[in-house]
Amino acid sequence: IFLRTIVLNAKDANKVTYQFDHVKFGGKDSDSQPVFFAFQPNGTFGYSVNKPSKKTDFTYSDGYIKISMTDSAATTESTKKSRASIVLVDSSGRVEICAKSDSRDLCKYAESKAKSNKQP
């Protein structure tokens, strides 16, 4: 088992712009808005479009969490796209890194929906 941890943005050093999206199984594109991503102690992953609180209900087992990351210094969408990395996490926690040559719609970098997502 390979396990890797990275810090997306250290305090006062926003070098990576990232976005979490939900894509239904068999879907081509993400839902209409970025989501909050949750890892539960039992190993499942879920998402919510609402900012998490003590009573937030998360949705599980119906798709992928798509994590799009790119260089914050990139100023144009084409530069962001060329520097982007896409990671898919399914509901059981399996991770897939999309290769640059992957032509699936699921693995394509979409134009940024937000300048920078700061997840809690």
In sequence order, what are the residues at sequence separation of 6 or more whose Cβ sits closer than 8 angstroms to the Cβ of residue 120?
36, 51, 52
Between CA 49 and CA 61 the distance in angstroms is 15
Residue 3: the pLDDT is: 52
The separation between CA 38 and the C-alpha centre of its own chain, rounded to angstroms, equals 12
Q: pLDDT of the chain along its 120 residues, tens only? A: 455 566 666 777 788 888 888 888 776 666 667 788 777 777 777 788 877 777 778 877 678 888 899 988 898 989 999 999 999 988 777 889 999 999 988 898 887 654 444 444
Residue 38: the pLDDT is: 79
Entry pTM = 0.72
Task: Name the residue ranges covered by the structural domains of the chain.
Answer: 16-105
Residue 42: the pLDDT is: 74
Sheet with 63-71, edge to edge strand ranges: 16-24, 63-71, 85-90, 95-97
Tokens (6 digits) for 17: 């712009």
